[in-house]
Chain A
Amino acid sequence: MTPALAIILGVILVSAGVGFIAGRRVPMNLENWTVGGRKFGIVIMWLLMAGEVYTTFTFLGASGWAYAKGAPTFYILIYGTLAYTLSFFILPEIWKIGKRRGLHTQPDFFAHVFESRALGVLVAIIGILSILPYLQLQLAGLGMIVEIASDGAVSSTTAILLAFLLTSAFVLTSGLRGSAWVAVIKDILMLAAVGIVGFGIPRIHFGGIGRMFQALIEKAPGHLVFPGSAPSMGVGWVMSTVLLTGMGFYMWPQLFGTAFSAKSEQVIRRNAIIMPLYQIPIVLIFFVGFTAFLVLPGLANGDLSFLTLVRKTYPSWFVGIVGAAGAVTAMVPASVLVLSAATLLAKNVYRAGFRPKAEDAEVMRVSRVMVLVVSTTALIFALAFPSALVNLLLIGYDGVSQFFPGVILGLFWKRVTRTGVTAGLLVGIATAAFLVFGKHDPFFGLNAGFVALGLNALVTVVVSLLSRPSPRKALA
């Protein structure tokens, strides 16, 4: 067993162990399991959000894009910052309603605000369909990381199976609390790995970050301004994409749900203030991708540039630490995604759609079964189609961001109706699907999901004005 392999396996096991123990001292009822008893303070909230935000996609994707596309990868820094700024103003409002009415999930919010169980079920289904490919991507990314870091000693399939078993186990025992505590390990490891590699690699290969950029400016200046090496990703694409993803970010059911886990609205606001700082280390991942562009040209898969360069530069034990950081970076978001999808299925599809009289205990039992159903489905996808779902991931983002007009208008505009929101949502989803699957993305230089979002907002407003005002609970 190489040092790298021992470290990776050790870290995965210890993390899962921490996840188990995290839930041992609290009784597991629905409230504790899904929203951590609504008692998360600033530190654990920050860790959890950061845990969900830094996913495998950041690790592999940010460097992969820096390598293959260049400047367009900067959009990652921008959209996160937009998302936190928006969350500063919007999440506290969502939290207030959630607290008053005892809401746990995003479909709860829609069903409650628009007094429509059917709309809640529709939102739940769109949410679950968007989560699945995202979850699958985490698993596939984890497999890739472990296989490369262990130099092929652990195949991607074995790694995915092991991580899947351990992650489902700690989700079943500890719920959201488990994810939050594993996020502690993950954040420390990942920040250490990214810090060392991000400063180290440009230094080792070029003598510093400035010199690396100098070399890059001489060799390929176009790589460093929009559209970089991706002709369709000009500045219009960047602006529409950061708007779409910035607005869509907190519309992911699992991130929307974190608004319900906070102890107070002040915790949410403080969290929003701090989070942009946590974005800054991503720039170190870009540096690695840019260095790889210069020293390892011609890789078939840009997503592998980070790990390939790390393996070329550092000794085996250190590759192990980076690989372990990458693996845990997949496990934390995967656990939260599984938990969210399972809760949505049990609470907002099973109970809201079929068994309105089901008790919390029954919903909890169904959620646990759904954990296995969801993770097994994602596992099968991850093993059978390791990369074919990238298109679906994009549709996933395009899909969840269509919730945005409903949430905003539901919070701040009294005249919006359930007919309007339902119509807007359906038009938005249909437009996004048509443009993306019909290969019209980007659409006249704009992100297709953004075009769909615009239509959605327009339809929501027009249909709301045309339809009879539906009785809605007072929000203030």
Chain B
Amino acid sequence: MRKGLKTALVCGSIPVLALVPALPFVNRIRPVILGLPFILFWILLWVALTPVFLLLADRALRKDDAGKDEGR
């Protein structure tokens, strides 16, 4: 597997891990953060962070493509 793709997959799975398998551990009201129950704050935080991780994944993939072009 290309190195960039591997990095991209790792970046992509971080928010997924936070939003699915982590749920049983964050299913609580307190601490209330920014006025929101903790579970809702946690979900919103990770929804907002997902574009950051996907942007990193995109960078990694594009580095792969750039490397390919140089090789030609």
Show the binding face of A for B, using Cβ within 8 Å: 71, 74, 77-78, 81-82, 84-85, 88-89, 208-211, 213-214, 217, 221, 224-226, 235, 238-239, 242-243, 269-270, 272-274, 276-277, 279-280, 283, 286
Show the binding face of B for A, using Cβ within 8 Å: 8-9, 12, 15-16, 19-21, 23-24, 27-29, 32, 34-37, 39-40, 43-44, 46-48, 50-51, 54-55, 57-58, 61
Q: Which of B15, B34, B55 contacts A85 (CB 8 A)?
A: B15
CA A209 – CA B61 in complex, angstroms?
40
CA A165 – CA B25 in complex, angstroms?
50
Judging by beta carbons under 8 Å apart, are B44 and A283 in contact?
yes
Contact of A85 with B50 at beta-carbon distance under 8 Å, contacts A74-B43, A78-B43 already known = yes
Contact of A280 with B35 at beta-carbon distance under 8 Å, contacts A85-B15, A224-B40, A243-B20 already known = no
- Give the 10 A-B CB pairs with smallest separation, nearest first: A210-B35, A276-B50, A273-B54, A224-B37, A81-B47, A78-B19, A235-B24, A273-B51, A225-B27, A81-B50
Q: Which of A74, A225, A242, A277 contacts B48 (CB 8 A)?
A: A277
Q: How far is the CB of A413 from chain B (nearest CB, A)?
A: 15
Q: Which of B27, B43, B61 contacts A77 (CB 8 A)?
A: B43
CA A1 – CA B16 in complex, angstroms?
50
Judging by beta carbons under 8 Å apart, are B35 and A239 in contact?
no
Q: How far is the CB of A27 from chain B (nearest CB, A)?
A: 35
CB neighbours (8 Å) of B46 from chain A are 81
Judging by beta carbons under 8 Å apart, are B9 and A89 in contact?
yes
Judging by beta carbons under 8 Å apart, are B23 and A213 in contact?
no
Judging by beta carbons under 8 Å apart, are B44 and A273 in contact?
no
Judging by beta carbons under 8 Å apart, are A242 and B20 in contact?
yes
Judging by beta carbons under 8 Å apart, are B35 and A208 in contact?
yes
CA A214 – CA B12 in complex, angstroms?
35
Q: How far is the CB of B48 from chain A (nearest CB, A)?
A: 6
CB neighbours (8 Å) of A242 from chain B are 19-20
Residue in chain B with minimal CB distance to A216: B37
Residue in chain B with minimal CB distance to A88: B54
CB neighbours (8 Å) of A210 from chain B are 32, 34-36
CB neighbours (8 Å) of B12 from chain A are 85, 88-89
Q: Which of B19, B36, B50, B58 contacts A269 (CB 8 A)?
A: B58
CA A89 – CA B10 in complex, angstroms?
12
Residue in chain B with minimal CB distance to A236: B24
Residue in chain A with minimal CB distance to B42: A74
Residue in chain B with minimal CB distance to A79: B19
Q: Which of B16, B21, B32 contacts A213 (CB 8 A)?
A: B32
Residue in chain A with minimal CB distance to B39: A225
CB neighbours (8 Å) of A235 from chain B are 23-24, 27
Q: How far is the CB of B12 from chain A (nearest CB, A)?
A: 5
Q: Which of B40, B43, B58 contacts A273 (CB 8 A)?
A: B58
Contacts A214-B32, A283-B40 supplied; 11 other A-B pairs, CB < 8 Å = A81-B46, A82-B19, A209-B36, A210-B34, A213-B35, A214-B35, A221-B29, A224-B37, A225-B29, A226-B27, A273-B58
Residue in chain B with minimal CB distance to A226: B27
